[in-house]
Structure formats: structure tokens, C-alpha cells
Amino acid sequence: MMLQLDQVHAYYGKSHILHGVSLEVNKGELVTLLGRNGAGKTTTLKSIMGLMLVRSGSIRYKGENILGRETHQIFRRGLGYVPQGRRIFSRLSVAENLRLPSLRQDGEKIEWVLNIFPPLRERLNNRGNELSGGEQQMLAIARVLVSGAELILLDEPSEGLAPLLVGAITDTIRELKKSGLTMLLVEANLTMASNLGDRHYVMAHGLVSREASSQEILEDVELHRKYFKL
């Protein structure tokens, strides 16, 4: 098991947001985290990255308890995070964005990500704010990969993208999976989630309510009524 959350309780100040979240991600798996707006998906990813106040429970990564560690230490152990709303450096070029996270200036890693995201190679000298939404999402993921992440947390990569670009991002995430990367993916696009995910967790009210198969995510009317329809 690569990542394991057990009974995690997290708070924003005095607001108790996560009420005992438990989940697991095995090496090489792509696991999705689904649920309505406000269910606690982003808060779960932030808790893993040491960005939330977690008062009880445990978070283990590669057998080690990472709860209470600083975000940069967690990042250095190989956990990557691509936040909701794709944060890239809009005034820096694509090449500069990719060189920035890697202290070792690992040219091989940059070459590897450019092979996974060919559109970025053609845009190396363009600034971040000159890229399309899909290219910005690719760059946000590529930056995390260059840093040497072994498990990446992706928060709604398809958000705000045109359907064609959702297809392109889906294809690249599939490529990453083939290359052996482990991923925990938060998605609102259930078609994309069911296409990519090996397993699915459904969250509601700060808890993982159940696990579901890809087929259930697509077709289970009861599940939709209970967890996805407004």
C-alpha cells in the first residue's frame, strides 16, 4: 500500500470539515475521489499535503506516518499535488516553469515529460498566460512530474476545459498511468472518472461514504440520485 488515510479529522479553524476519512491507494493504481460540491474532496487532498489542521487519525505514505510533517517535506518524499484551478507561473515561459521545481536541473526528466505532453514542446518559449486552458493543465501536471513525484494528487483537472481538451487530458493521464505513476484523482466529470479509475471512493459530508466500480459510477441510478444529482 502506498498511501493510507485512517479516520482523518480535519478543521478549518473551528469548522470541523473531515469527519473520519479513510482511504487507500496502492502502487500503480489510479483511484478517484468523487462527490458533490463541498463534500470535502479538496480538503482531503490538502490534508495529505500537510495544508490542513488534522487533529486526529493517521496518514501514511510508503509506510511512514506523514501527518504533522511540513508540506515541503511531504513533497520531497515524492507526493505531488496539482491544485484545483491549475496554478502555473503565468509570466514565466513553459521552459522556465519546468526548470523551476527541479533543483538538480534534471534534463532527462524534462525530456520525459515533454514526450508525455507533446503540445508543451511546441510552446516551450511561450509564457504561461499565452497557453490554452488544456495546455496550462498539462503544464501544471508536468511541473509536478519534473519534481520527481511518485504519487500525484490531481484536483479536478478537467474543470473549465472544452470537451476536446478533456479528451486530451484524459489521454495523457492514461499515459501517465501506463508509465507506472500512482494517482489519486478528484473529478466531477464522471465519464472521465469511470474511464480512468481502477477504484472509486464517493464522499459526502466530510466522509468516504462508499466505494464504487466504474460501471456503478456510470450506470447506478440510485448512486447518482444519492451522491451526484443536486
Q: Which stretches of the chain bind ligand ATP, using CB under 6 A?
A: 12, 15, 17, 35, 37-43, 84
Q: What is the CA radius of gyration of the chain?
A: 17
What are the b/e assignments for 1-21, b being 16+ CB within 10 Å? ebbbbeebbbeeeeeebbeeb
Residue 215 near which of ligand ATP, Mg ion, none (CB within 5-8 Å, type-dependent): none
Between 147 and 158, CB nearer to ligand ATP: 158
Minimum CB–partner distance for residue 83 and Mg ion (Å): 9
Between 59 and 116, CB nearer to ligand ATP: 59
Residue 17 near which of Mg ion, ligand ATP, none (CB within 5-8 Å, type-dependent): ligand ATP
Q: Which residues is 61 bridged to in the sheet?
A: 3, 64
Residue 37 near which of ligand ATP, Mg ion, none (CB within 5-8 Å, type-dependent): ligand ATP
Minimum CB–partner distance for residue 59 and ligand ATP (Å): 16
Positive or negative torsion for Cα 54, 2, 65, 104: negative
Residue 58 near which of ligand ATP, Mg ion, none (CB within 5-8 Å, type-dependent): none
Between 15 and 215, CB nearer to ligand ATP: 15
Which grid coordinates are listed for 3?
Answer: 498511501
Minimum CB–partner distance for residue 155 and Mg ion (Å): 6
Contacts within 8 Å (CB) and 24+ apart, 17-24: 17/43, 17/52, 17/206, 18/43, 18/44, 18/47, 18/52, 18/54, 18/206, 18/207, 19/205, 19/206, 19/207, 20/57, 20/207, 21/47, 21/57, 21/203, 21/206, 21/207, 21/208, 22/208, 23/201, 23/208
Between 110 and 153, CB nearer to Mg ion: 153
Map residues 35-54 to x or -, x wherever contact with Mg ion holds by CB under 5 A.
------xx------------
Between 77 and 210, CB nearer to ligand ATP: 210
Q: Which residues is 32 bridged to in the sheet?
A: 185, 200
Minimum CB–partner distance for residue 90 and ligand ATP (Å): 22
Q: Kindly list the residues in this chain that would bind Mg ion in the complex (CB under 5 A).
A: 41-42
